[in-house]
């Protein structure tokens, strides 16, 4: 993989999960020595690394060398993350580390691909919270910019029954707008198929998306413009510095001028719908709030208002605007601004890619299924094959699990069931932490069909596929959920399915 990336001119990074649910010593001091040796091996055996990525999976149900038990840890104390991060930087000084407190890049707070608006690159020197991780904290003591991640498919791994659910090129453009355009890194998961290759359709989607982004930003319509400002710091900091495409030059004002206006007079009337701004980061994130305006029919019209410029801020307008004069208005800043770029572009739409049909004959259709009993109303939404409709119930309590009993309409050969959580983080609601499954041929006599943890479901928010002990003939499934994956007042599930072959 590292060699293939070098041949393609791609930066290479490593993903190492700290939770090894198979290692006999996990949760004990012996595992830490093993984990550190893994880090050293990965840092020294594959050339230069761009990123070293740790996830947040830290303990739970596992095999643990045959123990088959649940192990919980206090992650910050157990791993001693500063020591782990120092170990990475000792061997790979230019690699960015991801996730734990003290790393170079923070998690953006969800796996939907949506950074906060704004997404400040600073955070308090305090334990991480998802809310802060999503939006950052203006003036925080730590420089800890966000990485925004999601998958091109509904989950992190390849499943043939999701071939028809791959993100479209248009959807990836929206992901670009909620990540890169807000100043964060865009991390898109690409699961290989059973050939060990990225599926052909996924590649076609990526090609269309990439072509559209490259074409959209190929021509800067502000090139050749004349720049003026209500104030300038003097020689070396002129307004024209925002047009020279040099990252180390910038326009700035005297110290006391913190709310200036910079105006571009374009070489001709141009139609644009993308505005890109950048600050000179060695001097920090200075602009708190700004607006962009255009002169239309002799009147200044406000096109957008937002917070945070930082490393990059791209504003996409609802529709193109034709103008010759455009201006940046700094509405609020604690000190004088330092703007290194003000650029204008016209978006190019991606070429549509036809969606393939799902090729998974073992996935059972839910047509004709019905809910015969549930612990709360509305459970019919579990069977509508629509991840956007959510069954939301009061959270389970000790001795009172959330339950749903499903009639498949006829006797069928079933190997297991699937559970899809809400694809977005819901305020006050969470997916189940684990499950207990029972099956029946007649709805009267029940057999246990498995119980366990829904691994990392609160953060991955992807479909879980749970095997029964064996393929069995059933008509009814009863599913019970005793706890939410994270503390919440309500439990939420988007869908239930089933399949006929063990996976």
Q: What is the largest CA-CA distance in the chain?
A: 86
Q: Are residues 376 and 241 in the same domain?
A: no
- Domain boundaries, position 375: 370-499
pLDDT at 361: 79
Predicted confidence (pLDDT) per residue in 19-54, tens digit: 999 999 999 999 999 999 999 999 999 999 999 999
Which residue stretches of the chain have pLDDT < 50? Answer: none
Say if CB 364 and CB 498 are below 8 A apart.
Answer: yes
Residue 53: in which H helix or E strand, if any?
A: strand 51-53
Which distant-in-sequence residues (6+ apart) come within 8 Å of 492 by Cβ? 390, 391, 392, 393, 421, 422, 426, 429, 430, 431
301, β-bridge pairs: 294
Write the CB contacts of 446 (distance below 8 Å, at least 6 apart in sequence): 438, 439, 440, 478
CA 108/CA 120 separation, integer angstroms: 11
From the list 449, 448, 456, the residue with the least C-alpha distance to 416 is 449
CB 485 within 8 A of CB 433: yes
Number of domain units in the chain: 3
Its pTM surpasses 0.85 = yes
Asked if 276 and 380 sit in the same domain, the reply is no
Is 359 a member of any domain?
no
DSSP, collapsed to helix, strand or coil, labels residue 85 as helix
- Same domain, yes or no, for 180 and 119? yes
Q: Which of 132, 157, 187 is the last residue of a domain?
A: 187
The H-or-E segment that residue 142 falls in is strand 142-143
The pLDDT of residue 359 is 67
**314 vs 410: CA distance, rounded Å:** 54
Same domain for 151 and 33?
A: yes
Handedness of CA 302, 306, 312, 315 (dihedral sign): negative
Rounded CA separation 466/319 (Å)? 46
Residue 87 sits in the same domain as residue 153: yes
CATH number of residue 401's parent domain: 2.60.120.260
Mention every residue, 6+ apart, whose C-beta is less than 8 A from residue 440: 446, 447, 474, 475, 476, 478
User: Is residue 502 a contact partner of residue 471, using CB atoms and an 8 Å limit?
Assistant: yes
Output the pLDDT for position 427: 86
Q: Is residue 351 part of a domain?
A: no
pLDDT value of position 355: 87
């Amino acid at each position: 993989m590292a060699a293939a990336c070098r041949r393609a001119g791609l930066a290479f990074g490593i993903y190492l999960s700290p939770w090894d649910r198979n290692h006999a010593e996990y949760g004990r001091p012996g595992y830490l020595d093993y984990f550190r040796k893994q880090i050293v091996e990965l840092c020294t055996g594959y050339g230069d690394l761009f990123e070293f990525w740790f996830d947040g999976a830290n303990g739970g149900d596992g095999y643990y060398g045959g123990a088959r038990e649940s192990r919980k840890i206090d992650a910050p104390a157990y791993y001693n993350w500063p020591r782990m991060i120092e170990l990475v930087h000792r061997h790979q000084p230019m690699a960015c580390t991801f996730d734990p407190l003290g790393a170079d890049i923070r998690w953006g707070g969800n796996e939907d691909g949506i950074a906060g608006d704004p997404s400040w690159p600073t955070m308090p020197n305090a334990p991480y919270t998802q809310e802060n991780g999503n939006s950052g904290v203006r003036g925080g003591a730590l420089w800890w910019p966000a990485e925004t991640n999601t998958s091109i498919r509904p989950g992190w791994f390849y499943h043939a029954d999701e071939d028809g659910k791959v993100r479209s090129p248009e959807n990836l453009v929206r992901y670009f707008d909620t990540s890169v355009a807000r100043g964060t890194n865009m991390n898109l998961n690409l699961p290989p198929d059973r050939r060990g290759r990225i599926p052909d359709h996924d590649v076609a989607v990526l090609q269309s998306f990439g072509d559209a982004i490259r074409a959209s930003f190929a021509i800067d319509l502000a090139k050749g413009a004349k720049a003026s400002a209500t104030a300038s710091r003097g020689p070396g900091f002129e307004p024209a510095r925002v047009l020279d495409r040099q990252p180390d030059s910038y326009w700035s004002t005297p110290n006391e001028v913190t709310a200036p206006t910079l105006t571009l007079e374009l070489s001709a009337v141009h139609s644009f719908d993308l505005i890109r701004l950048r600050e000179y980061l060695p001097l920090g994130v200075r602009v708190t709030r700004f607006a962009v305006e255009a002169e239309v029919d002799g009147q200044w019209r406000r096109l957008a208002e937002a917070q945070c410029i930082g490393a990059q801020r791209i504003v996409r307008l609802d529709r193109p605007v034709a103008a010759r004069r455009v201006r940046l208005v700094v509405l609020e800043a604690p000190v004088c601004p330092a703007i290194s770029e003000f650029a204008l572009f016209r978006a190019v739409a991606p070429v549509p890619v036809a969606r393939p049909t799902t090729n998974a004959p073992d996935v059972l259709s839910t047509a004709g299924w019905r809910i015969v009993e549930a612990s709360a109303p509305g459970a019919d939404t579990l069977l509508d094959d629509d991840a956007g409709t959510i069954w939301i119930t009061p959270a389970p309590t000790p001795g009172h699990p959330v339950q749903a009993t499903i009639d498949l309409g006829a006797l069928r050969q079933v190997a297991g069931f699937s559970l899809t959580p809400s694809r977005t983080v819901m305020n006050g609601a969470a997916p189940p932490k684990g499950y207990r499954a029972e099956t029946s041929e007649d709805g009267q006599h029940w057999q246990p069909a498995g119980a366990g943890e829904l691994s990392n479901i609160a953060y991955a928010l992807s479909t879980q596929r749970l095997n029964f002990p064996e393929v069995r003939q059933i008509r009814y499934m009863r599913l019970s959920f005793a706890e939410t994956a994270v503390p919440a007042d309500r439990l939420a599930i988007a869908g239930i399915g089933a399949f006929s072959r063990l996976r």
